[in-house]
Amino acid sequence: MKQFLRAAAISAALSVTAFSTAVRAEVDTLKVVQQFGLVFLPIHVAIDKGLIEKHASEAGVDGLNVELYQVGGGSNTLKTLIAGEAHFAGMGIPPALTLWSRTGGEFKAAIATGTLPIRLMTIDADVQTIEDYQKVSGHQIAVPSIGTSNQFILMQMLSQKLYGDHTKFDDLMVSMAHPAAAQALLAGNQPVKSHFATPPFTLREMEAGAREIINSYDIFDAKHTGVVMMTSESFRADNPIVYGAFVDALNEAMDWIVANPDEAGELFTRFTGSKQPASEAADILRNGDVTFNNVPVGIQAYADFISKHGDVTPMESWKDLFMPNNHDLNGS
């Protein structure tokens, strides 16, 4: 059985690959960074089933090592990628746009991994509607990171929609990784009384009595991509076989999840060591709460908002954020 959180290597052998008419060395160890939640299941499947190594070997690179690291928050993930400590990193759209903008387009998305509703959960009896957050005191809303996370930007988008001012909720938000935020919320005796959460944390919190105030689909008025896998143009140019193997592996993993929700739920709980029953994860996969596909949606809406209210370069098209292998998709 393979379980890999925080630094886990798969194969042992190293290789230097020859292709075309010259010998060109691709990386022998591929380093991937993820965050928390069911939305990262395609990475788990690809690693557990050795799909990245399989596609690399089929294309001529044998003995590839794959290492997976886990960090909390989009800003920390962004820093890890910029520092060269990883080759691919999964993150939400706001940090991805920030990374793309600050590096002049050097970092782009290799693939999107699906859609999910992010749910604002609370245990505070005094909060029944989103407007009640303006009336309560001593109440904190946990989001993965301040400034760059999907959740932080979604709260700003909601604030702009309700009040014509995108900052009304800023002072309520605190940075906290999902596992710690869920624990703080359910403890019931801490300032964190709301958590803008992703599956499976939302289900766990509902079962413990927390209520949903609003979700990201309501804010967007549509489904939207949750996570993209970012990498650099330099990495893609220097490692075309490994890059392609990674993209092909995640596409295969997403197809497998859709076709095998029961097995995928079991794999998620086993791979992550989650205490959640595998059947609950499978139910989330079946009911459409989380969908897995590579079509980017809602990218332009995020970009337009952040470029207007933040320091991200305006995008002419969602394709600006994505590598060329995505440009034929029906994205938005």
Q: Are 63 and 253 in contact (CB under 8 A)?
A: no
User: Is position 2 within any domain?
Assistant: no
82 and 23 in a single domain? The answer is yes
The total domain count for the chain is: 2
| Nearest partner of 77 among 190, 228, 201, judged by Cα | 228
Q: Which of 162, 188, 220 is the last residue of a domain?
A: 220
Residue 240, domain CATH: 3.40.190.10
User: Is position 271 within any domain?
Assistant: yes
58 and 195 in a single domain? The answer is no
24 and 53 in a single domain? The answer is yes
64 and 87 in a single domain? The answer is yes
Whole-number pLDDT of residue 22: 32
Which residue segment(s) compose the domain that 292 sits in? 18-115+225-326
Q: Please, which residues have CB within 8 angstroms of residue 31's CB and are 6 or more apart in sequence?
A: 67, 69, 85, 86, 87, 88
Q: Which of 205, 220, 235 is the last residue of a domain?
A: 220
User: Is position 7 within any domain?
Assistant: no
Whole-number pLDDT of residue 75: 66
144 and 286 in a single domain? The answer is no
Q: pLDDT by residue (tens digit) across 222-273?
A: 899 999 999 999 999 999 999 999 999 999 999 999 999 999 989 988 887 7
Q: What is the distance between the alpha carbons of residues 272 and 44, in angstroms, rounded to a whole number?
A: 8
Whole-number pLDDT of residue 74: 58
Q: Which residues of the chain have pLDDT under 70?
A: 1-24, 72-75
Tell me how many degrees the CA angle 264-265-268 measures, rounded to the nearest 5. Answer: 85
137 and 79 in a single domain? The answer is no
Whole-number pLDDT of residue 148: 82
Q: Which of 152, 187, 220 is the last residue of a domain?
A: 220
User: Is position 253 within any domain?
Assistant: yes
152 and 194 in a single domain? The answer is yes
User: Is position 279 within any domain?
Assistant: yes
198 and 247 in a single domain? The answer is no
Q: pLDDT by residue (tens digit) across 302-313?
A: 999 999 998 899
Whole-number pLDDT of residue 11: 31
Q: pLDDT by residue (tens digit) across 119-143?
A: 999 999 999 999 999 999 999 999 9
User: Is position 332 within any domain?
Assistant: no
pTM of the model: 0.85
Whole-number pLDDT of residue 36: 76
User: Is position 8 within any domain?
Assistant: no
Q: What is the distance between the alpha carbons of residues 166 and 271, in angstroms, rounded to a whole number?
A: 39
Strands (E), 161-235: 173-175, 192-197, 211-215, 228-232
Q: Tokens 């995505």 sit at which residue?
A: 326
Q: Please, which residues have CB within 8 angstroms of residue 237's CB and are 6 or more apart in sequence?
A: none
Whole-number pLDDT of residue 280: 80
Whole-number pLDDT of residue 212: 96
163 and 250 in a single domain? The answer is no
60 and 131 in a single domain? The answer is no
User: Is position 4 within any domain?
Assistant: no
Whole-number pLDDT of residue 65: 94
Its sign, for the CA torsion 270, 272, 276, 280, is negative
233 and 91 in a single domain? The answer is yes
229 and 110 in a single domain? The answer is yes
